[in-house]
Structure formats: structure tokens, C-alpha cells
Amino acid sequence: MAPSAAAGVAPPLIALEGVTRSFAVGDSVVNAVDGIDLVIGAGEYLSIMGPSGSGKSTLLNLVALLDRPSTGAYRFDGQDVVGLDDDALAAIRRESIGFVFQSFHLVPRLTAAGNIELPLTLAGVAAAARRERVAATLAAMDLADRADHRPSELSGGQRQRVAIARAMVTAPRLLLADEPTGNLDSHSGTQVVELLEGLWRDQGVTLVVVTHDAALGRRARRRIRLVDGRIDADVRD
């Protein structure tokens, strides 16, 4: 299915096989994600769309290693991750996955630089190296003059750019964006999307965008549509 997997050179970045995630709701069991097979190769730009309740967020959480499948197999970069413990999953998130959230999730008491530094701090990067990488990332995101501002002193677009900088400062292989423009006006939204796409184009990060904004979803080279926890459509240009 994915070209890289077929070539057998490198394993796909993400390989889900028959993945189901079920939740108990009252007496019944609901399969939020229902037997999904999905292979995403390194360097792809993919959008996951679907109506509310279609299982987008659940799928994203599974891909992000924040949640475990109830059944099915998941190989991240060739490694079986279903059986890993929490700390091992945390290590993969630390090293290989960046997150961008709809509501930014910046730590309000930390400055922009402090927020961007956080993943490096959690990864135990030495302070001097952290400062260097934070400065470089700030510059790359055109945020150098906002380094010492707290989130409350930034506009929505600036906040999301800080969040993207935080996601990218560890140079992850996978960038997951959950409704990245959901809380932004159209102008800021466009800027954020262009920034994300630039990272995909120039740095080769694998970009997965979850959205129910059709205009945003259409921009991706590969578009997956979820309905009732199943893949309804998987279209690529």
C-alpha cells in the first residue's frame, strides 16, 4: 500500500492493523475506532476528517501513543508499541512526536521561550544546548521578539506558533495537529497552516492534521475520511 513499505527499504512510520478502541458507555460497549488498517509513510502529509463522533480524536490519540488499542497491532517506525509500558511510550513521544492542539495548551506561567524549552527539559537536554535550540526555533518561527512574552500577552496566532515551535524543537519525525486552526481567525489560521506545511515541505516531518474544516483538510496530499470509527475514504493526489 505505502510505497516505502513495498520497497522494503525502511518500515512505514505508522502501521495500524485491525485497530479497535472500545469504550464502555453505560451498559453497552462503543467502538470509537472500529478495525482500522492504516499505514502512513515517513514524510507524508495527511489529513483525517470526519463528523463529530467519527473517532477522529480517538484515532489521533492512538497514533500519538497517548492511548492503547483495545485490539489490533500498532508498529511505530517498525517497533511494536502495543506491549510497551507507559515510560517507553513517553520516551517515543519525547523523541519522535510533536503535538499541536486546538487550544494551544501553553503553560500560562512560562514565557514563550519557557514553553518551547519544556520538551527539551523533559528530555534532559543540558541547559546550554536547550537555550541554543530554543533560540534557533524561535528565530525560525519568526517569534524571536516574543521570547519573553507569556501566553496571555500573545495573540492566538502567536500562541499557536509558539505551540508549533514547542512541537518542533525536538525535531520529531511525526507532527500531529489536532484542529490547529480551530481557535483562530482565518488570517491567523492561514499563517499557521502555511507554517505547518512549510515544516513538512522543508524539514520532511510527517504531518498529520485532524480537522473537520473541509478547506483545511483538502490541502493535504492524502485525505482520510472517518465515519463511525471506520475509514470511509482514503484519497491521495
- CB count, 10 Å around CB of 125? 18
- The angle formed by the CA atoms of residues 225, 227 and 230, to the nearest 5 degrees, is 85
For residue 4, the minimal CB distance to another protein (Å) is: 25
CB 174 within 8 A of CB 206: yes
Binding another protein by CB under 8 A: which of 71, 79, 103, 155? 103
Q: Which set of grid coordinates corresponds to residue 32?
A: 470509537
Is 102 a binder of another protein (CB under 8 A)?
A: yes
Residues 6+ apart with CB under 8 A from 81: 65, 74, 75, 88, 89, 92
Beta strands across the sheet bearing 79-80: 28-40, 14-25, 71-76, 79-80
Q: Which region among 34-42, 114-122, 131-139, 222-230 touches another protein (by CB under 8 A)?
A: 114-122
Q: Is 101 in the site for another protein (CB under 8 A)?
A: yes
* Segment interacting with another protein, rule: CB under 8 A, options 32-40, 122-130, 152-160, 213-221: 122-130
User: Residue 24, interface with another protein (CB under 8 A)?
Assistant: no
The stretch near another protein (CB under 8 A) out of 76-84, 119-127, 210-218, 224-232 is 119-127
The residues binding another protein (CB under 8 A) are 57, 61, 64, 66-67, 86-87, 90-95, 99, 101-103, 105, 107-110, 118-119, 121-125, 127, 166
